[in-house]
Chain A
């Protein structure tokens, strides 16, 4: 009969758990409170899309890089985003927190992610290649940048 668990398995398990714990500890340290002039950075398709101050409430419709509709979208804030674009995310900044409130994608992971408010946190939508993150401001006392 084959052994289910050997000594090497337990060592490997311990090593993997330690790496995981170390990574989560390192990441939780890199999260810092957002300062007064923290920025909301939105990236679409790997490029910078827009930057807004975290302190101002607003709703941003971010079209994804890929679109089916050939006609130019009618840019009107009255219309819902789904009427303007095939692929999009709606990012809402409200009361110092950022959330993705609407997304065209099937899995809705970015919407379920909830809101973020600390510098270094991010929301990612893989189908639309969107990254929303918070960067600490100059006076915020946070890190200048976060390397992972």
Chain B
């Protein structure tokens, strides 16, 4: 196995160089991962499936976020996630959809980072929690926009779909991480 010297050690994972600016390797890495995540978003947007209830989505693009979090750290994951959500919002989902997705992304990212720090959970568990938090974040934005708490009737549906989607994304991420080791 050959390993390039630049990838060895923690140097490859450093986000800033000595002058404190964002390093070129960080930009390149995040750019690559964001475009990969965007392609996942696109693939998901063109698959015609209708679960019948709004808000149910697999969110395969989040595999990239989870892998980024475990492989490179919270800053990479946050950058990839926000870039992907903004671009996918502009391209496929519309500005309103972007607002919901952004809220979900921020809540689930925060949850993932905190749960990962505890060290108790596997990738699957962290991703499951992230799936649930993602849906809850969207629900809170929807409740704030529509100014009606009755929207929480969707809570159980979003809860279970978040668990299912999170587990699937988590297993896919765990497999991807194992292949990347």
- Out of B122, B132, B148, B177, name the residue touching A9 (CB < 8 Å): B122
B159 interface residue per 8 A CB criterion: yes
Using known A-B contacts A3-B122, A8-B121, determine if residue A13 contacts B128 with beta carbons closer than 8 Å. yes
- Tell me the interface secondary structure of chain B in the complex: helix
Query: Which residues of chain A come closer than 8 Å to B160, judged between CB atoms?
Result: 17, 20
Q: Count the A-B residue pairs with Cβ separation under 8 angstroms: how many?
A: 96
A126 interface residue per 8 A CB criterion: yes
What is the size, in residues, of chain A's interface with B at 8 Å between Cβ atoms? 35
- 5 tightest Cβ-Cβ pairs between the two chains A and B: A9-B125, A46-B147, A24-B156, A20-B159, A8-B120
Cross-chain contact A6 with B155 (CB below 8 angstroms): no
What is the size, in residues, of chain B's interface with A at 8 Å between Cβ atoms? 34
Binding site for A on B (CB under 8 A): 50, 52, 54, 94, 96, 120-125, 128-129, 132, 142, 145-153, 155-156, 159-160, 163, 167, 171, 174, 177-178
A58 interface residue per 8 A CB criterion: no
Using known A-B contacts A2-B177, A127-B96, determine if residue A27 contacts B153 with beta carbons closer than 8 Å. yes
Using known A-B contacts A6-B120, A9-B125, A23-B156, determine if residue A148 contacts B150 with beta carbons closer than 8 Å. yes
Query: Which residues of chain A come closer than 8 Å to B54, judged between CB atoms?
Result: 107, 109, 126
Q: Interface readout for A50-65 with B: 1 if CB under 8 Å, 0 if not? A: 0000000000000000
